[in-house]
Amino acid sequence: MFMLAFAAAALLAAQPAPAYKRKMHRPPAVGSAAEPSVLQERWLRRRVVRLARIKMLERREAVLFDFLARAHTETPLFVDPHVAAAGAGISIGPTTVTLDFLGSPIVRATVRNTSASRAAPLLTVTLRAADGSTSRASVLVETLDAGAARTVELLSPTRGRPTSLSWSVQE
């Protein structure tokens, strides 16, 4: 199964990226003043093209993410069902830890704002492995209204097999 996912990922990665031809833009000739409406139209056209390219790249990213999710490239490690009060009116949990296909931990947790005011916390998770090594990952949670909850995903840049975790919060 893993080989099939690996082969499909290699096939997608082997496809060449589309080549974009860069047009040479020449400055207007000296002595001919372009109308403001023409300049505005050119500016608007360039902006629309830029936005279309950004949208295309966002679609590609979503397709790749969906492929990785469907290919079952993650290995579950453990689930922490406890809800931890991290301070500043923020509670975190339950938490799920998996390994991606490269061996890096992925931490998914539900964050709740139990205070009466809005909050935008910076969450930091410290992962501890059986051999004593530690790694940290952080994420800035978008503004949470009072009583709201959101699921966050933290990707650790270091490889390892964590066995436990702890949370810290900064406002």
Average pLDDT over residues 51-73: 86
* Structure confidence at residue 84 (pLDDT): 86
In this prediction, residue 27 has a pLDDT band, given cuts at 50, 70 and 90, of low
CA distance 43 to 7: 43
Please give the C-alpha separations between residue 110 and each of 48, 126, 128, in angstroms, as whole numbers: 37, 16, 20
CA distance 57 to 163: 36
User: How does pLDDT run across 161-170, given as a tens digit for each residue?
Assistant: 999 998 888 8
Average pLDDT over residues 32-56: 86
CATH number of this structure's domain 75-170, picked from the four choices 2.60.40.3230, 2.30.30.40, 2.60.120.620, 2.60.40.10:
2.60.40.3230
Predicted TM-score (pTM) of this structure: 0.58
Average pLDDT over residues 25-45: 73
CB 160 within 8 A of CB 103: yes
Q: Is the pLDDT of residue 171 over 80?
A: no
Q: Residue 142 phi/psi, 5° resolution?
A: -60, 165
Domain ranges of the chain: 36-71, 75-170
